[in-house]
Each structure stands twice: as structure tokens, then as C-alpha cells.
Structure 1
Amino acid sequence: MTRYAAEVNQLTAAWLGRTDGSGVLSGAGLWPLLAVLAWSADEPGRGELAGAVGLPADECMDAARDLLKEVDDLDGVDAALGLWAQEAAHVRPEWRDTLPAGTFGELTGDASTDQPKLDAWANERTHGLIERFPVQAGPELMLTLATALALRTTWERKFSDEPWQVADGVWSGRRLAGLSRTTPEAGDLRVTDSAAGPLTLTRVAGDNGLDVHLVLGSPEAAAGDVLAAAVPLVGPGSGSGSDGLVDGAALLESGEVSPWPGVSTVSAPRPGLVLKTPRFRVSSLHDLLRQAEVFGLRTVASGERGHFPAIGPVPLRVDQARQAAVAIFSATGFEAAAVTAIGLRTVSLPVHSSRAVAVSYDRPFGFLATHRSSGLVLFAGWVDSPDDWAPPGEGSRPAARPGVMRERLPRPDGT
């Protein structure tokens, strides 16, 4: 698919390893944003972001552009980039022009205007699966950069919908919306020992080159660890025999199925794979700053200075970083979407603890010109009609005594 699959998967596995594994997430939706920020940042944030991306920082912008294009070109997948900024952010045109092709819009700083615009983009780009943009608009949101990723596939072999009464485990006694099917491809089932313990993986093939792998670990294994361990096992080179994987055909031949989670043997007219799973819809909203160190965001989301000089002269830091994601597994197919957004704000000006007095001569006033050592008043005057400003050379008169003693002083005789 793309030369950056390994780097994206590495980020996904690292993210999974720091979560409880529940819900749904997309490392592919986040990775291009981190790459753009890495290219745009200065040190030390630049190095931290590049470390999360897995590439040198000066390669990251090209990589973000290539990944989004290659993902968008996949059958059944749509990928999009969006950038919105307030005029006050003074985004450099040359920086914007280096970004992957996408939507570029303006922010007003008014949430009642900006939020519906961002929400509409998320809804449109995910075909209605995600209705709300994950970053909150408002006066402090100077710039937001986002990706939208939407996937849809129809199963090559559909499932049957049926009630499923689970006998054991935490779902015991529940009547689930079950899906079942029998296929001849026993090799779609694979098992292996991993750092998270024994794993069972089952591939469900879509008709447009997209697959969904169902992963089961032992009951005591942490969900995040199970998923992180499964990530490197679903690539194109991960067949039976690689990474200790054993497929279902080999299990049938050996008859040794008891150590593997969820695996058993049943009577059937011919060899193959009988798969049962519940229908599901899961959704998540992730606050990425809670795991800032995993994504290289710790430095660029803190401090008293800006971190992105390539974006523009206004000092900016990351203020929000969130992902909204949803996945739906049904009898006929699978669809999923994620909108990932990072919001930047201006760095607050330093707060001074001292106080000063201020004065403003904003109405008629007088003045005295004195001799310092003696206190002699040399000139006294009153200003009640100061000059209007005019650019030099445009008819302004010499300012020798502007506004001073404009009235003719009376002579000693009173005339």
C-alpha cells in the first residue's frame, strides 16, 4: 500500500499499548498530522514529534502528503485534510502551500460561526458517521489542522444474523445479536504466542481489498496489550509460519486447539472455518494530550514560547488534540471513520507581578518649561487644540510651538 505502513503501524501499536484497548482509534488518521507538525516545529519539539512519526523531521511533510494521497487512492477508503486559521494567525502562504492538498478555510473566532462549519466538514468527509468535529471552536482557536478517514467494505462472504445466547464468561446470560458463517478458508484463522500471551486472529475479507482481523487473547490479558501485539501480525508477510503463526488448516491437521483463545473443533460437512461473532458498533473520543509523550506532543503543548516558526510569526502551541472514531461490523460489511484534529492557540504573554501607574493627557492641558536647578519657569502654555497628524511632507507645518499660546497675548496697555 505505502512505504510508510510500518511507521504508521508502529504509532498505532504504541498508542494501543498505552490505552485500555476499548473503543476504536486510528493511528493512520493521526500520523499525517504529527508529520506536518514535526516538519513545522523547532527543537526540542521537532525531535519529539519526529520520534513519534518514526522519520527524520525534514522528510515528514513529504511523507504526510504521500500517505494521504495513497490512502485516498485505495478502493473503499476516503482520506482528506483540512486547515482553518484566523487571520490573526498570519499563516505563511509558503507553509500552507507545502501541505497535502485539502480544504483551507478561515476561522472568525466566533464559535457560533466556526463550529457548524467544522462540524459540517467532519460529517461530509465521513459520510455522516461522525457529526461533530472533535476540536472545540472559539476565540482561542487560532488554527486547526485535521484529517478525516472513512472506510467501507462489503464482505466477500456474508454472515447470517441470529440470536446468540452466550454460555460462559462476562457475557454469560446475554442474548447477543450474533453473526455466523461457515467458509472453506480455514487459513483465515491463525494463532500464535505473543508478548501478550496466546492470540487468535481471524481474517474477514472485504470485496474491495480491505480486511478486518478479529483478535482474541486470554481472559486475563489487557486489551491494549493484546491489540498492540496483534498489529505486526496482520501485514502482507504475516502468513502461517512467520512470527510463530499457525493457521487453522494446520490446527485441524494436528488436532491441537485447546491452548488457543476461542478455538475449538466442531462437526461439519467439509473442512473449513465456522466463525461466530457479535454484531457491533463502537465509538470513541480520544484526548490525545493525555498521552502526549506517545505522540511527541509534550513540548509543543507547553511552555512560554511558540514552537512552530514555519507556520508564521505568531507564537503558537498545541492547545487541543482529539480524535473522534466509530466502527460498525454487520452481517454484510464493515464501515469506520475517524476525524483527528489538532488545535493551536497563541502563547500567552508573560504576566508581570509588578504594577505601574499610568496617566493620559486626553483633554486640554497646560505645561511649564523650567530651569532645572533653580526652578525658574521659562515658558508656560496651554494646549487646547493639538495638531492633527499628517505624514511628513504633506503640508504639515513646522512643529516649533504647536498649539502653544495660540491666542495673541495682550499688550501691557491692555490692547
Structure 2
Amino acid sequence: MALGLIYPGCTGEAVIQLRETLGFPPGDSSQLPWKEISDQLSSADGSCQGEIYNGVCYHEAPTLKIANSVWFHNANALDPEYRETVGPDIVKEIDFAAAASPVLVNDWAKNKTNGLIDWIVSPDQPLYPSHELILVNTIYFKAAWAKPFFDHSTNEDAFYSSVSRNEGASQAHFMHTVSVFPYSHDIMPGYQVVRLPFVNSELSFVIVLPMNEDSSEKTVKSSSLLPLLSAMDSTRVALALPKFKFSSEYTDRLKDAVKQTGIAAPFSGGSLCNLLQDDEACQSLFIDEIIQKAVIDVNEKGVEAAAATAIMVGRTALPTYETEPVLMLCDHPFQFFIHHESEELVLFEGRVGMPESPDSVDQEPLLESKHNNKDFWERFGVKPTSPSFEAKDSSGSSPSLRRFLFCKKGMVPIAAAILAALILHIIL
């Protein structure tokens, strides 16, 4: 959404490139392309949907907050039409040369992400006077599982670096459950796909787990995945999912990756002339830097995630079942997607290459046995079976540079730098 925030300030070739690459709607560029969807998604306010006992709500709706801000140097004035388009309440005027200026931006981002993102611009030095504007987008998400995991079913087990499970083992804390979820190992041959719904929401957590070495070497594109989710069947699944908490930070590589998608004009002068009133001064404006930070925490209760992106503009800027559940051990690298069903929208996506070390968590797992032992799942009253598959490549995906994005069906996701453990947030 951060590039959507700069879209009304673009002119000429920059408008065309953003439309063609990101699928922004044709017509007048003087409007925020994601505003309607953002407003709708932000209606998820975390309100209590059930009883409150001892001050604790046990049926809380998801929280999804999307926020924007435009910070500009006090020596220049924004174009009135741009100010009106983005909303005058999000425009902040500060002196970029002042030592306290980063504090103002960072405090705003920290507040909007519930403290998960401490800073988005360097707190150690003033903002450069040569930067005329900073456009910041944040997203905060917190939701409980519709079918929660339980602490007494968490153990410490091996997480492998490859699908063969014969090398690179490390220890992780695994959550376990046996329940009915939308599931398939047919919609994308070579992968197990499961969707874990969040309580009182169309949002869900989609896991894509490679089943063979060929699949593990590829990256599944969300644009390829979304049309297939409706074909998943309700299936009883014995699921082992590692707890994980990751953070990521991108600077230089993100700008280069955006350029590689075909969005080049905003990074040179003369394409952002709807930002400032002074037509002559705007000729030298350009996107100088894109900074992105994100955090995600997946545990027994649910998921909490946040991300912030800053664009620096400078000058030249259980029922009875007849069949046993299918076994799905997420004990090697996998992808995940936080998906909104009716909007066919991906809010967060990432790749888990290595979960957090057990030494970094507060609570020791209560379950001591290992889930690859023959009798492990007997405590759940099941004998899960492993799915069969054919080693075909029909995903249409290939290794690519990717990051968390705001991707809707039919739109082209932005390419960006890939993190070995996790890729995070929105840059559209």
C-alpha cells in the first residue's frame, strides 16, 4: 500500500508503470487505489464477540489496522489536491533537519503497530534536509485461531533444513492438533496446502508445505495459489506446526527489486509533480529510499503481525469419522499466507526457513514425546496416514525475489528481496 500512497502524486510514465505493474485501476490517478479495501479491512476492530470473565474476553474478533501518514519538510508545501486525496488528517509537517524528527515518525509507527515496530527511520540521526517527504504505511494484525492449539499438546521436536528430513535438524517447539480444515495435496501437486481459519473472520492462515525436493526449490506465487483455494476439501488433518516469531528489515535491496518489476520512473526526477505546489521544485523529486520492517508471531493462541514501510522522497527521493486424518508435519521449510477470502487478498506472506530456537521462548513445552514416534498420535485417538503424491511441477512458480505484499487476485505481486527465514509486508 505504500506505493499506492504515492500514486496520486505521480505524473506521466510513473502513473502508467504503477497501473500496469500493480494493477491500479485506470482513470483518474488522483485517488488512493486501495482506500475502499483498506477501510473495509480496518473494520476488524478486535471487539469482544462473547462472554467476558474476570476482565478477559474469550471470543475476541480479529484486529486489523491499516494506517498512512505523510511527513513533509516545513520548507515546502504539498499540492492541495494531493493533500485532499490522501486526507488532510494524515499529513504531518516537521523539520527534517531537527534532531527530534525521527522520534516523531517512529513514535507514530510504534503506536500504529501496537509496539511491534520500534522504529522505521533511523533513530540515531536527523532526517536529511534533502529529503522533502516521507510516506509511511503500517499494518497491524492480531487474530485467534478458530480452532486453537493447546499448551499441553506442544512439544520440542526436530525441524529439518530439507524435505528429505535427513540433514540440518534443529530443535523447535511444535504445536499439534487433529481437526477438520480446508486441505488438499492435489490442487498443487507436490505440495500439501492447509487453511487455518481465524475466529469470527474471513481471514485465514494458509500453509504451503513442499512434499518433494523439486517443490522445495520453488517459490509459490500467491497469484497462482489464490484461484485454487476454493477447490480445497474439508479434511481431517493431524497437524504439527512450529511456533515461530520472526522479524525482517529491508532497505537498499527493496528499491532495486521494485525497479526490476518495471516501476522505474518514480526513482528519477520529474515523475512526482503532483506532490508539491511548486512545479519547478517538483522536477527534481524522486524516490530515494524504501525502508520496510515487519514482525510476525505464531503461537498456540493465534497470530500477531505488524509491518511498516517508509518511502523517502528526496531530490536528484470433533465428530465421528470413518477415515483416519491425513498427516501434515510442518517440520521443514514451508510458506504461509494470511488470506482474506471474499476479497481474495493476501495481507502477509512468508517462508519459514527456521523457527525460533527453544532457548528464546519463555515456556517449556508440556509434551515430551516426538510426533514421528508411532504412538505419538494415539494420544489424539488417531492413526494418521501420509498423503500420496506425484512429483509434477504444475505450480507455475519459479525461484523469485519476493516479499510480503498486498496482492489481490488478478494483480501482479511486487518482486522484492527474499529473506532466508521470512519475507514480510506490503509495498504496493
TM-score, with length taken from structure 1? 0.61
Q: Contact 1:64–1:100 (CA<8 Å) still a contact in 2? A: no
| 2:220 is the alignment partner of 1:238 | no
Q: Matched residues in 1 for 2:215 and 2:93: separation?
A: 43
Which residue among 100, 107, 112 is the counterpart of 1:113? 100
Q: Matched residues in 2 for 1:154 and 1:170: separation?
A: 34
Deviation of residue 335 (structure 1)? 0.8
Aligned to 1:311: 275
Aligned to 1:292: 258
Give the SS at the match of 2:31.
helix
Unaligned runs of 5+ in 2: 45-61, 318-428
Name the aligned partner's letter for residue 192 of structure 2: T
Q: Contact 2:117–2:308 (CA<8 Å) still a contact in 1? A: yes
Deviation of residue 328 (structure 1)? 0.9
| 2:298 is the alignment partner of 1:329 | yes
Which residue among 136, 145, 148 is the counterpart of 2:138? 148
| 2:170 is the alignment partner of 1:174 | yes
Aligned to 1:189: 183
Q: How does 1:93-112 map to 2 (within 5 A)?
A: 93-100=80-87, 102-110=89-97, 112=99
Which residue among 141, 147, 167 is the counterpart of 1:157? 147
Name the aligned partner's letter for residue 193 of structure 2: L
Which residue among 109, 112, 115 is the counterpart of 1:125? 112
Deviation of residue 108 (structure 1)? 0.8
Unaligned runs of 5+ in 1: 1-31, 250-271, 349-415
Q: How does 1:340-359 map to 2 (within 5 A)?
A: 340-347=309-316
Give the SS at the match of 1:63.
coil
Shift of the 234–47 alpha-carbon distance from structure 1 to 2, 3 Å rule, reads closer
* Cα deviation code 1:199-251 (max 9, x no counterpart): 211111211312111111245357794331x444346x7323xxxx5x464xx
* Percent identity (aligned): 20
Which residue among 126, 129, 132 is the counterpart of 1:139? 129
Deviation of residue 179 (structure 1)? 0.8
Shift of the 214–45 alpha-carbon distance from structure 1 to 2, 3 Å rule, reads same
Aligned to 1:388: none
Q: Matched residues in 2 for 1:225 and 1:53: separation?
A: 23
Give the SS at the match of 1:339.
strand
Name the aligned partner's letter for residue 225 of structure 2: L
C-alpha RMSD over aligned residues: 2.7
Shift of the 323–102 alpha-carbon distance from structure 1 to 2, 3 Å rule, reads farther
Aligned to 2:196: 204
Shift of the 170–128 alpha-carbon distance from structure 1 to 2, 3 Å rule, reads farther
Aligned to 1:21: none
Q: Contact 2:8–2:85 (CA<8 Å) still a contact in 1? A: no
| 2:63 is the alignment partner of 1:70 | no
Q: How does 1:16-95 map to 2 (within 5 A)?
A: 32-54=1-23, 55-56=25-26, 58-59=28-29, 61-74=31-44, 75-95=62-82
Q: Matched residues in 2 for 1:300 and 1:85: separation?
A: 17
Q: Matched residues in 2 for 1:124 and 1:275: separation?
A: 35
Deviation of residue 38 (structure 1)? 3.0
Aligned to 2:366: none
* Cα deviation code 1:342-376 (max 9, x no counterpart): 1101239xxxxxxxxxxxxxxxxxxxxxxxxxxxx
Q: Contact 2:173–2:243 (CA<8 Å) still a contact in 1? A: yes
Give the SS at the match of 1:192.
coil
Q: Contact 1:38–1:47 (CA<8 Å) still a contact in 2? A: no
Q: Which has the higher helix share?
A: 1
Name the aligned partner's letter for residue 310 of structure 1: N
Q: Contact 2:8–2:82 (CA<8 Å) still a contact in 1? A: no
Name the aligned partner's letter for residue 264 of structure 2: R
What is the count of residue pairs matched by the alignment? 282
Q: Contact 1:87–1:107 (CA<8 Å) still a contact in 2? A: yes
Deviation of residue 80 (structure 1)? 0.6
Q: Contact 1:35–1:50 (CA<8 Å) still a contact in 2? A: no
Give the SS at the match of 2:172.
strand
Q: Matched residues in 2 for 1:134 and 1:39: separation?
A: 23
Q: Contact 1:155–1:206 (CA<8 Å) still a contact in 2? A: yes
Aligned to 2:238: 274
Aligned to 2:409: none
Q: Matched residues in 2 for 1:122 and 1:161: separation?
A: 34
Q: Contact 2:294–2:306 (CA<8 Å) still a contact in 1? A: yes
Q: Matched residues in 1 for 2:266 and 2:169: separation?
A: 49
Shift of the 294–65 alpha-carbon distance from structure 1 to 2, 3 Å rule, reads farther
Q: Contact 2:105–2:121 (CA<8 Å) still a contact in 1? A: no
Q: Matched residues in 2 for 1:65 and 1:181: separation?
A: 38
Q: Matched residues in 1 for 2:18 and 2:122: separation?
A: 20
Name the aligned partner's letter for residue 28 of structure 2: D
Deviation of residue 139 (structure 1)? 1.6
Q: Matched residues in 1 for 2:105 and 2:167: separation?
A: 39
Deviation of residue 43 (structure 1)? 1.8
Deviation of residue 82 (structure 1)? 0.6
Name the aligned partner's letter for residue 303 of structure 2: F
Give the SS at the match of 2:300.
coil
Aligned to 2:345: none
